[in-house]
Amino acid sequence: MSDATSTFVQESQEDIQKLNNALLDLEDDPESSDAIETVFRVAHNLKGNFGVMGYTTASNLAHAIEDLLDCIRDGELAVTAERMDLIFSGVDHLARMVEEISDTGETNTDPAETIEAIRASIDEEAAAEADGDETDGSAANADAVDSDRDVPLAELADDIDLAELEAETSVYRAALEVADTGSPQVDAMFVIDSANDEFELLRTVPSNAAIEDGEFDAAFDAYVATTDSDADRDAVASFFEDDRYVEGVTVAEVTDGIVAEERDDGNSDGDGDGDGDDATDDVADAGADADADADESTDGDSDSTSESSVTHSSKEVESIRVDVEQVDQLYNQVEEMVTSRIKLRKIIEGSDLVEAEDELEEHGKITASLQDTVLEIRLVPLKKIVGNFPRVVRDLAREQDKEIDFRMEGVDIEMDRSILNELSDPLMHLIRNAVDHGIESPEERERKGKPREGTITLTGERERDRVSVTVEDDGGGLDVEKIRSKAVEQGIMSEDEVALLDDSEVYDLIFHPGFSTTDEVTEVSGRGVGMDVVNQVVRGVDGSINVESEPDEGTAITLMLPVSVAIVRVLFVTAGDETYGVPIKNIDEISEFEDVTLESVEGRQTVTHDNKVYPLLSLGDRLDVPDTEPDGDDMVVRIKEDVRQVCIRCSDVIGQEEVVIKPFEGVLSGAPGISGASVLGEGEVVMILDVDTL
């Protein structure tokens, strides 16, 4: 995929997301002028970009959507659920076409039916108006034309020498759209100045003064009169298309009207009033021709006109786009530097080469600085993966006849892109679960004395090097007793074991593979099916999950995640001849085995510390490492209480180092007790322990 296509795809995906969210705002508040203006502007931008890149079919679809939105903006059509469904359907087609372009460079989607349906929706209103005033059709057309349009025609007629009327005089109406550069009035005046240099007779609607004052919506009409036989319609269109400040142009001929109007003022042959009406009708017909020819204007070769939107920006570049492959390559180089630092340290250990040690220290500073820079580059806002969630909730709510207010807060917080990529599907599942099983039907909510409309909120917060993302609903909440009974029924735990669980431990059962509290699996969420995957994915990126729920008040599921990828400092421990790493951040204390206070509780060894009992896990036993019989020289690593109240018995502790952790993929993904692996300087692969699941 070329750089131009890649940029087009990225910008189109962003525009489609903006369009979806602006459409939701419009649907929520049909009277919002800000919403309709945003919707129209983004749709117009999509249409132009598709046309520029030569994707005619997509451009035609975007054009149809734009026309329908234009009718809504002008008050000709109302915002209805059916009309919004039609627009959303068109936007979905555009999204699908962009994905196809991203994958193959071309699109095979045929949106003909959707375009036809959108056009039919527009035509229905036009037909209704025609039926309402059938006898006064010509007068209605005349009234519909802005009176300002008659003024340039009259002025042009005054400027044309009567002697030239016997020659072939042509008048063209060019409907022009100015590129979105931030200074439309300035750019429009540049267009008018160049047109005045090219054409002897030119008038605009709105007037030059109005355009110079910015009293127009980035579009205006230019009426050009010429007696030059070479200046035909195509030549006029070509002139404006070649102007760098023009983004779109449609040209229609209105010659008969101008000639008739001039003859009324001078050598009229009788029907003065009638010919004057004809002049107005011709202008109206020209407008209709412009609409009919709109697809043609966007389908043509418009590379020259589109360039302005890219190269003539009046704003300074405040941000840059970085290719993901380049960022990943840079990150891999950082990994190699980290590994190299470890190797260098090993080489000079025990040496008296002070200079080499100083150089190594400097190397470490450079590496750390580069590491920080790369990690910053990789940070992406949460809204990148949740931007389409409002649309998802809207569609699911309509499918289930539920009323839901979906809110997002704190989605500007940033996280490493690799973590966000992993987080997308789990968050989507939580959202779908909240819609399907969290929020009750409007009728049920009313019976409970709750508002008919339920609320789902996605909230992002950052605290130092961790991020929390919470999906909260005000629905029915989790049924603790039902979860307990289902756990027993499905053979997950015995009745005695379940009875000992507190509520928070019961909630954790929903993440057990295959667990479900319902006999009916829906297409929306699956209820439990996939919650185990949510847990595995979050654990796989060194995260954790917390569930809180209250009957009839709702449920909140919080994902606690690291901001950056796993380049962490670990403590190296051994079990027999095997070496493992334990993240330093999880460790509270290291002791020799003979120095700890041991007790036996129900046949299991425990360590007592500050009047708290910590179960003692043998690393060799847990990981089936051969030849790891415990002896008096063993070491005990006590894990921080807020991570897991446990002590780990190992053969030895052999130092600490900053390493790059690579999570396991495929069949090893989610393996209990292991979070990933790291390659040391000598090429040795070391498993990194996940103390929470060991």
What confidence tens digit (pLDDT) does each residue in 309-344 have?
A: 222 333 333 345 676 777 777 777 787 777 777 777
Total domains in the fold of the chain:
5
3-class DSSP state for residue 145?
coil
3-class DSSP state for residue 542?
coil
Q: Which of 182-191, 403-412, 480-489, 641-650 has the lowest mean pLDDT?
A: 182-191
Is residue 604 very low, low, confident or very high in pLDDT (cuts 50, 70, 90)? Answer: confident
Q: Which of 37-51, 268-282, 460-474, 615-629 has the lowest mean pLDDT?
A: 268-282
According to the model, what pLDDT value does residue 198 have? 83
According to the model, what pLDDT value does residue 281 have? 36
Two tokens at 573?
């421990």
Same structural domain, 571 and 651: yes
Two tokens at 629?
């019989």
Same structural domain, 398 and 435: yes
Q: What is the mean pLDDT of the chain?
A: 77
According to the model, what pLDDT value does residue 288 have? 34
DSSP-derived letter for residue 457 is E
According to the model, what pLDDT value does residue 520 have? 54
Is 317 a member of any domain? no
Is 37 a member of any domain? yes
Same structural domain, 448 and 542: yes
Domain stop point among 102, 132, 162: 132
Kindly report, residue by residue over 5-37, the tens digit of the pLDDT.
888 888 888 889 889 999 999 998 988 888 888
Same structural domain, 189 and 232: yes
Distances (CA, A) of 401 to 398, 437, 522, 640: 5, 13, 15, 48
Largest CA distance in the chain: 122
CATH of the domain at 332: 1.10.287
Residue with the bigger pLDDT between 49 and 459: it is 459
Same structural domain, 304 and 359: no
Q: Are 678 and 692 in contact (CB under 8 A)?
A: no
Two tokens at 653?
């502790």
Is residue 458 very low, low, confident or very high in pLDDT (cuts 50, 70, 90)? Answer: very high
Same structural domain, 397 and 531: yes
Is 313 a member of any domain? no
Is 315 a member of any domain? no
3-class DSSP state for residue 599?
strand
Residue with the bigger pLDDT between 171 and 579: it is 579
Q: Are 657 and 570 in contact (CB under 8 A)?
A: yes
Is residue 129 very low, low, confident or very high in pLDDT (cuts 50, 70, 90)? Answer: low
- Mean pLDDT to the nearest integer, 186-212: 81
Torsion angle of the four alpha carbons 136, 140, 142, 146, in this order, in degrees rounded to the nearest 10: 170
Kindly report, residue by residue over 373-389, the tens digit of the pLDDT.
777 778 888 988 888 89
Is 319 a member of any domain? no
Is 235 a member of any domain? yes
Same structural domain, 36 and 172: no
- Mean pLDDT to the nearest integer, 106-126: 84
According to the model, what pLDDT value does residue 492 have? 86
Q: Is the per-residue pLDDT at 349 higher than 80?
A: no
Same structural domain, 211 and 100: no
Distance between first and last Cα of the chain: 45
CATH of the domain at 59: 1.20.120.160
Same structural domain, 370 and 244: no
Is 188 a member of any domain? yes
Same structural domain, 412 and 554: yes
Could you count the other beta carbons within 10 Å of the beta carbon of residue 627?
Answer: 10
Is 169 a member of any domain? yes
The answer for residues whose C-beta is within 8 angstroms of residue 72's C-beta and 6 or more apart is: 26, 36, 78, 79, 83
Same structural domain, 176 and 294: yes
CATH of the domain at 253: 3.30.70.1110
CATH of the domain at 640: 2.30.30.40
Same structural domain, 84 and 107: yes
Q: Which of 167-171, 198-202, 603-607, 649-653 has the lowest mean pLDDT?
A: 167-171
Q: Is the per-residue pLDDT at 642 higher than 70?
A: yes
According to the model, what pLDDT value does residue 513 have? 77
Domain stop point among 378, 396, 412: 378
According to the model, what pLDDT value does residue 304 have? 31
Domain extent for 76: 3-132
Could you count the other beta carbons within 10 Å of the beta carbon of residue 178?
Answer: 26
Residue with the bigger pLDDT between 559 and 200: it is 559
Domain stop point among 378, 402, 420: 378
Residue with the bigger pLDDT between 301 and 183: it is 183
Among candidates 256, 199, 193, which has minimal Cα distance to 230?
199
